[in-house]
Amino acid sequence: MNIGEIARRAGVSRSTVSYALSGKRPVSEDTRRKIQQVIDELGYQPNASARALANGRTSTIGLVFPPAGNHYTGMQLDFIGSVTEAAAAYDYDVLLSPSGVDSDRSFQRLLGERRVDGAILMEIRLQDDRLDHLTAVDFPSVTIGRTARPEGSWWVGLDHTALAAACVHHLADLGHRRIAFVNRPEQLLRAGYESAQRGLDGFTKAAAERGLTVRTYCCGDDATSGLTCLERILYDDPATTALVTLNEAALGGFYRGLAQAGRHVPRDFSVTGVVAGRWAEAVTPQLTAADVPAEQMGRLAVDLLVQRLDHPETPARNHLLAPPISLRASTGPVGAGPADLAPDFGTPTHP
């Protein structure tokens, strides 16, 4: 069932069918109806490859994210979901590309074989060769996260510096003097991951400002690493009373470690950080944290990309978000008395 078949059955030429469908030239009401009728009868839908070849647009956007190996985090899932749905609303499909660097085969395919009209990059590094490459060949893209020099490029990002600082101030206000910072895995920090770098930066500066004693750690993206890391923290400085983390996947491990060490959260120890809201609420006690608005970010990224595709000459736009800290149940004043200060679900009512 191709356009020629439709044309034949409707008794018109192929071009007329095309114009009837696209509306780019007037077609008489009669023929339009006749064509539509044939199309409905046969359930015709134009072939995407042929259309893409002819008009140079694939109606597909690429979503580039680093391969798992290391694990996926919940945040990535939220991005993938929201990007896909936002794209669907614009009649774009989403092609997944698991690429960490610009030399990845799948990344080359996206670009070189022109499989997509534009790309959204996740997990940006401060120096990102993937983005450099895209910029060099003038390929429309939007990043979730921003590089060291984000001017003139399209992105939606989180103000990790401010967010980490806000966590520090929150803890300092509660009286904490010795706090730890738990970052994403060292490998990612080294590679220059934006959130890891800027988060660390914001934390360090804010802590210096408030005159706090701090230690910083890197930690694998899983609960077991979290547990190990927490043991290390308490070993290095048993007087630590709080931690700030960017590592949502390790959260369960921190809690477990604290429980094992007999530290009650938040009575004896406060935990906070920058985490997707949905995951902050999945742990007990619920995490006081700056909630990463992953869904909104995915949507915004698609909005920007579509705009860029529709109006190629628009000057670069971006969105820098800095969500407030959501107060939940994992932080409290330092050195508080026993039970009376435990929030929300106070004394166990053991039967």
Q: How many CA atoms lie within 13 A of 107 on its CB side?
A: 21
148 binds a second copy (CB under 8 A): no
Binding residue for a second copy (CB under 8 A) from 80, 134, 275, 302?
A: 80
Q: Tokens for 313?
A: 């000459």
Phi, psi of 293 (to 5 degrees): -85, 70
List binders of DNA among 139-178 (CB under 7 A): none
Binding residue for a second copy (CB under 8 A) from 22, 28, 53, 148?
A: 53
Look up tokens 């069932």; give the residue. Answer: 1
Burial of 202 (0-12, 13-18, 19+ CB in 10 A): buried
List binders of a second copy among 268-287 (CB under 8 A): 278, 281-286
31 binds DNA (CB under 7 A): yes
Residue 94 binding result from DNA, a second copy, none, given CB thresholds of 5 to 8 Å by partner type: a second copy
Binding residue for DNA (CB under 7 A) from 36, 51, 192, 215?
A: 51
> Least distance in Å: CB of 122 to DNA?
29
54 binds DNA (CB under 7 A): yes
81 binds a second copy (CB under 8 A): yes
Distance of alpha carbon 319 from alpha carbon 323, whole angstroms? 12
Non-local CB neighbours of 187 within 8 Å, separated by 6+ positions: 70
Contact present, 154 and 143 (Cβ < 8 Å): yes
The alpha carbon of 203 is separated from its chain's Cα centroid by a whole number of angstroms, namely 21
> Least distance in Å: CB of 19 to DNA?
6
113 binds a second copy (CB under 8 A): yes
Cβ proximity to DNA, 57 vs 264, nearer residue: 57
Q: Which residues of 214-232 are buried (b: 16+ CB within 10 A; e: fewer)?
A: beebbbbbbbebbbebbeb
133 binds DNA (CB under 7 A): no
222 binds a second copy (CB under 8 A): yes
What's the longest Cα–Cα distance across the chain? 87
Non-local CB neighbours of 276 within 8 Å, separated by 6+ positions: 74, 75, 78, 248, 291, 292, 294
Distance of alpha carbon 347 from alpha carbon 340, whole angstroms? 8
Which spans in the chain are helix H?
Answer: 3-10, 14-22, 29-42, 48-55, 74-89, 105-112, 129-136, 160-173, 186-191, 194-209, 223-236, 251-260, 277-280, 294-310
Binding residue for DNA (CB under 7 A) from 8, 33, 37, 55?
A: 55
Residue 192 binding result from DNA, a second copy, none, given CB thresholds of 5 to 8 Å by partner type: none
| Identity of residue 123 | E
Kindly write out the interface string for residues 13-52 of this chain, putting x where it contacts a second copy by CB under 8 A and - elsewhere.
------------------------------x-xxxxxxxx
67 binds DNA (CB under 7 A): no
340 binds a second copy (CB under 8 A): no
Binding residue for DNA (CB under 7 A) from 4, 81, 335, 338?
A: 4
42 binds DNA (CB under 7 A): no
187 binds DNA (CB under 7 A): no
Cβ proximity to DNA, 15 vs 314, nearer residue: 15
Binding residue for DNA (CB under 7 A) from 2, 103, 127, 224?
A: 2
Non-local CB neighbours of 336 within 8 Å, separated by 6+ positions: 267
> Least distance in Å: CB of 272 to a second copy?
17
Tell me which residues touch DNA (CB under 7 A).
1-4, 11-16, 18-19, 21-22, 24-32, 44, 46-47, 50-51, 53-55
